[in-house]
Chains A and B, each alone.
Chain A
Amino acid sequence: MRGFESILDQKQPIRILTTFLHRRAMPHALLFTGIEGVGKRMTAMVFAMACNCTENITNKKEHDTKIPLQQSPCGCCNTCRRIESERHPDVILIKPVRAVIRIAQIRSLCQTLALKPYEARTRVVIISDAQAMNPEAGNALLKILEEPPAHTILILTATQTTDLLPTVVSRCLHIRFQPISRKSLETFLAKSDALSDEDAVIIASMANGSLSKALSMIKPANLKYWINQRKWLIHDSGLDAPASLSSRPVASLLAFAERLSKNKKNLPDFLEVMKIWLRDLVIWKFNPKLIINKDLTQKIQYASQQIDLESLISKIKAIEVAEKDIRANANTRLALEVMFLRLVTN
């Protein structure tokens, strides 16, 4: 079953957490930061399991605070399994509802915490994507975050501390999660049968350090999809030869923009793929070993030689502007068309 060892990389955070367990000295508020999909929530879950695992809290250990807790949960006792399936009454998970965590959720949390835990030795509250808290919710959390009732730990996960209220950050013990190294991702992906080694390498590089992204890419329905999508995005947008982009018929690019705009769900990822491709072209000029699309080295080399730095940067800027407009609820198709017109002209 799951334990700390099932989490890829993240040696440092796990070391800190196991020391807490070992010394039986838990800070009441933890803040996990790191890019999306590096296992922040999973680590929080495992930590909750470790705090409450029945193996850990036999009667003898319960009362003698000198005895260190076992550092990894058994994963098969009743408590562990209930926590893992999110059915434990004392492990509370708060998630954004429609991208926002509202004050009502925090208020009801405060009410729950005012009561004693049902059965757990250590109640754990996990607030995932804490940056989604609106200011009211964040402020409502402050008092309880500073001095929660006994036997309660709050764990917040967020991508960056700068996205949170400074008053929230200052009340938490901050633990940073690193992006998963490409090598660990590769070995992890290579284990799954459906994936050839080559594809594993490509997906590991496209996931960019995020396990959840990699996993969503290798779902059977998605398998090959992302690899093909990348090919399509780079080739049909004309970015594979950015230097000759201006000689391409504008109509075909506008048609491409239309097709892009139809796939609203994946659009941010699509634009990201295009940006990363352009970024590789820039980086190639200076430091070829840092490129992300390693499997396309030859293409990158060819394309990068064709075009100068300044126009590449202006192209990236064009995509960034489009991203911003789309976030600001501009008409997607119009924004994309403008983007392509900007890409064509230098």
Chain B
Amino acid sequence: MSYLVLARKYRPQTFDEIVMQGHITRTLTNAIRSNRVAHAILFSGPRGTGKTTVARVLAKAMNCKEGPIPVPCNVCRSCMEITTGNAVDVFEIDGASNNSVDQVRELRENVKYMPAHSLYKIYVIDEVHMLSLAAFNALLKTLEEPPSHVMFIFATTELHKIPVTILSRCQHHDFRRIDVESISKYLETICSKESVDIAIESLRLIAHEAGGSMRDALSLLDQVMTCSDGTLSHDQVLELLGVLDRKIIFDLSTAIVSKDTSGMLDMVEEIYASGHDMKKLYQDLIEHFRNLLIVKMGDKIDRLVNLSADEVGSMVEQVKDISEIFLNQVFNILFEEESAIRFAIQPKLALEMILMKVVQIEPALSIDVLIEKLDNLRKEIQGTVDQKKNLKKNSNPIKKKPGLDPPLKDNINVDNTWKKLRNVISEKNPSLAAFLKKCTLTKLTGESLEIEANGNDFNLRMIQRRKNMRIFESICRDFFGKEMHLSIKAKPSKPDERPRKKDKTNDSKQKAIQHPLVADAVEIFNGKVVDIRIL
């Protein structure tokens, strides 16, 4: 037999060997014991958690020579055949490549024949989510009431693609992700079986990288084992797996929060040059900032952050001087820009630009602090105002009407006053306000307003109508609190610009002709100037 990868070599052959899926294996063994196994079972869950494996073990348990038993003997003809994958009564169908309705029809044709030598005829359809809708529907009747000698086992990673009509006809088992602890323990037993010596730290790293999938973990372990000669140091493992050392992520995030742009760019370059996936780096970075944020909030760190105690310790150290708000800002930007890096042709370039943006963040103040500051400011202002009032009362007993004079006095505020006045007018007489919109207030003194009408003649005449003027005056009286003199003028029209432009072009043409270079060129080539164009 040629070389087998670990994931295939150590595929569990009994229910007991399956890691972390106790809730499923227990249910199934109990069902077998009490002879209550459903005729259609659906397994769903993330990749590499044991769906196909459980399906095969279940098939063995049902078809074993000793009748359905919880622990298959693994020596009888049926068990052996299933292990080697050439059983006559267990059909392992690849749902993804046999996904059309014709193939399901063929299956239905064969269902009615009795099994060759075992108790049950078992159909295992892997990747069942890829069946076409027609294929699913063609299966419905058979699935609901199959002949007594038939069993269906489905396995899929994408439960949401299965029609509800199929779901309701199946007994559904959901596989869990396998936690880091269980994976590393299992890896350890395999290492001892293979007599390879790998540090527990490295195994934990592998388990962490696997993301809850045993097959991923075993593939990684395989890779490490093929390249080792007996023992392996942690650094070698890191290099082999191409896992970003946690330290690099730490350093990079420190550079980001301390705004060391040049150092940050250096690091990105270095990571890129060693062939790391920029998108992976970005995901790691997001995860790191998420962890930092949780550590900063300091609540339920153990449960929410899946890291060792020293790492949490160094994270606490890292976030000591950083505000929660700032971390939140960084996290937000990283999150928002995720799509940019996902679709980038050159992820490195995109990553650099996103990090640039992050570095540009001005740390915002928390709302509490802002309110406090505003409060202080208000108190200060009130204090000074009170003081002023007191002062004024003492020095200047004459009381002025408040609120009316300032706009008159302040010439800088002419535009503002004009806007306010127009707002008042638009409330009372919208049509007049519309005409006035095209005018500007050119001069504002204590007792007169000078207004320039910019629009066409019509505009001016409409404003100067007696009725409108009266309304205008009365509004002004209310607004300024006294009688105002209004003078409305038309804007002096500009002299036509066109002739001047023509002059200008003529002028530059003349200049071009007289230019010494042109004269020289004419002389050298013995030619004449035909046309002059301005570009």
Q: Tell whether B10 is near chain A: CB-to-CB under 8 Å.
A: no
Q: Tell whether B113 is near chain A: CB-to-CB under 8 Å.
A: no
- Determine how close the nearest CB of chain B comes to the CB of A242; give it in whole angstroms: 15
Contact, CB under 8 Å: B265 / A290: yes
Bound-state CA distance A177–B275 (Å) is 6
**Cβ contact of A20, chosen from B2, B99, B226, cutoff 8 A:** B226
Q: Which residue of B lies closest to A249 (CB)?
A: B535
Residues of B near A279 (CB, < 8 A) are: 349, 352-353
Q: Tell whether B143 is near chain A: CB-to-CB under 8 Å.
A: no
Q: Tell whether A176 is near chain B: CB-to-CB under 8 Å.
A: yes
Bound-state CA distance A320–B350 (Å) is 9
Bound-state CA distance A317–B352 (Å) is 12
**Cβ contact of A310, chosen from B1, B8, B360, cutoff 8 A:** B360
Total interface residues in chain A, CB < 8 Å: 64
Q: Tell whether A170 is near chain B: CB-to-CB under 8 Å.
A: yes
**CB within 8 Å for A313 and B353 given contacts A15-B227, A179-B272:** yes
Contact, CB under 8 Å: A143 / B94: yes
Contact residue range for chain B?
A: 35 or more
- Determine how close the nearest CB of chain A comes to the CB of B278; give it in whole angstroms: 8
Q: Tell whether A173 is near chain B: CB-to-CB under 8 Å.
A: yes
Residues of A near B94 (CB, < 8 A) are: 110, 140, 142-144
Contact, CB under 8 Å: B97 / A287: no
Which of the 9-residue segments A22-30, A82-90, A226-234, A293-301 touches chain B? Answer: A22-30
Bound-state CA distance A287–B263 (Å) is 8
Contact, CB under 8 Å: A34 / B360: no
Contact, CB under 8 Å: A25 / B226: yes
Q: Tell whether B464 is near chain A: CB-to-CB under 8 Å.
A: no
Bound-state CA distance A275–B343 (Å) is 15
B-contact bits for A272-308, CB 8 A (1 contact / 0 none): 1001100100110011001000000000000000000
B-contact bits for A252-270, CB 8 A (1 contact / 0 none): 0000000000000000100
Q: Tell whether A93 is near chain B: CB-to-CB under 8 Å.
A: no
- Determine how close the nearest CB of chain B comes to the CB of A273; give it in whole angstroms: 11
Q: Tell whether A171 is near chain B: CB-to-CB under 8 Å.
A: yes
**CB within 8 Å for A34 and B47 given contacts A174-B223, A286-B261, A287-B262:** no
Which of the 9-residue segments A160-168, A191-199, A337-345 touches chain B? Answer: A160-168
Contact, CB under 8 Å: B127 / A142: yes
Q: Which residue of A lies closest to B344 (CB)?
A: A320
Contact, CB under 8 Å: A139 / B227: no
Bound-state CA distance A34–B342 (Å) is 16
Contact, CB under 8 Å: B280 / A173: no
Bound-state CA distance A31–B3 (Å) is 18
Contact, CB under 8 Å: A12 / B266: no
Residues of A near B272 (CB, < 8 A) are: 179
Q: Which residue of B lies closest to A168 (CB)?
A: B47
Residues of B near A27 (CB, < 8 A) are: 3, 5, 219, 222-223, 226
**CB within 8 Å for A24 and B3 given contacts A309-B360, A320-B340:** yes
Q: Tell whether A178 is near chain B: CB-to-CB under 8 Å.
A: yes
Residues of B near A177 (CB, < 8 A) are: 275
Q: Tell whether B68 is near chain A: CB-to-CB under 8 Å.
A: no
**CB within 8 Å for A162 and B279 given contacts A170-B215, A179-B272, A286-B262:** yes
Q: Tell whether A236 is near chain B: CB-to-CB under 8 Å.
A: no
B-contact bits for A94-110, CB 8 A (1 contact / 0 none): 00000000010011001
Query: How many contacts A-B (CB < 8 Å)?
Result: 144
Most buried by A among B340, B353, B357: B353
Q: Which residue of B lies closest to A29 (CB)?
A: B5
Bound-state CA distance A197–B272 (Å) is 26
Q: Tell whether A324 is near chain B: CB-to-CB under 8 Å.
A: yes
**CB within 8 Å for A103 and B3 given contacts A179-B275, A286-B261:** no
Contact, CB under 8 Å: A283 / B352: yes
Q: Tell whether B447 is near chain A: CB-to-CB under 8 Å.
A: no
Bound-state CA distance A177–B223 (Å) is 15
Bound-state CA distance A160–B343 (Å) is 12
Other than the given A25-B3, A150-B2, 20 more pairs (CB < 8 A) read A12-B275, A16-B226, A23-B226, A25-B226, A28-B5, A139-B127, A140-B130, A143-B97, A167-B47, A167-B157, A170-B219, A174-B242, A181-B273, A275-B349, A276-B349, A282-B352, A287-B265, A290-B266, A309-B356, A324-B343
Can you list the 9 inter-chain pairs with the closest CB atoms, starting with the nearest? A178-B275, A139-B96, A140-B97, A143-B94, A287-B262, A286-B261, A25-B3, A140-B96, A162-B279
Instruction: List, sorted by A's number, 21 A–B pairs whose CB atoms are closer than 8 Å.
Output: A15-B227, A26-B3, A107-B97, A140-B96, A140-B97, A140-B130, A143-B94, A147-B8, A160-B277, A160-B278, A160-B280, A161-B277, A162-B277, A176-B242, A179-B272, A208-B346, A272-B345, A279-B352, A286-B262, A290-B265, A320-B340
A residues sitting closer than 8 Å to B (CB atoms) are 12, 15-16, 19-20, 23-28, 33-34, 103, 106-107, 110, 136, 139-144, 146-147, 150-151, 160-162, 166-167, 169-174, 176-179, 181, 208, 268, 272, 275-276, 279, 282-283, 286-287, 290, 309-310, 313, 316-317, 320, 323-324, 327
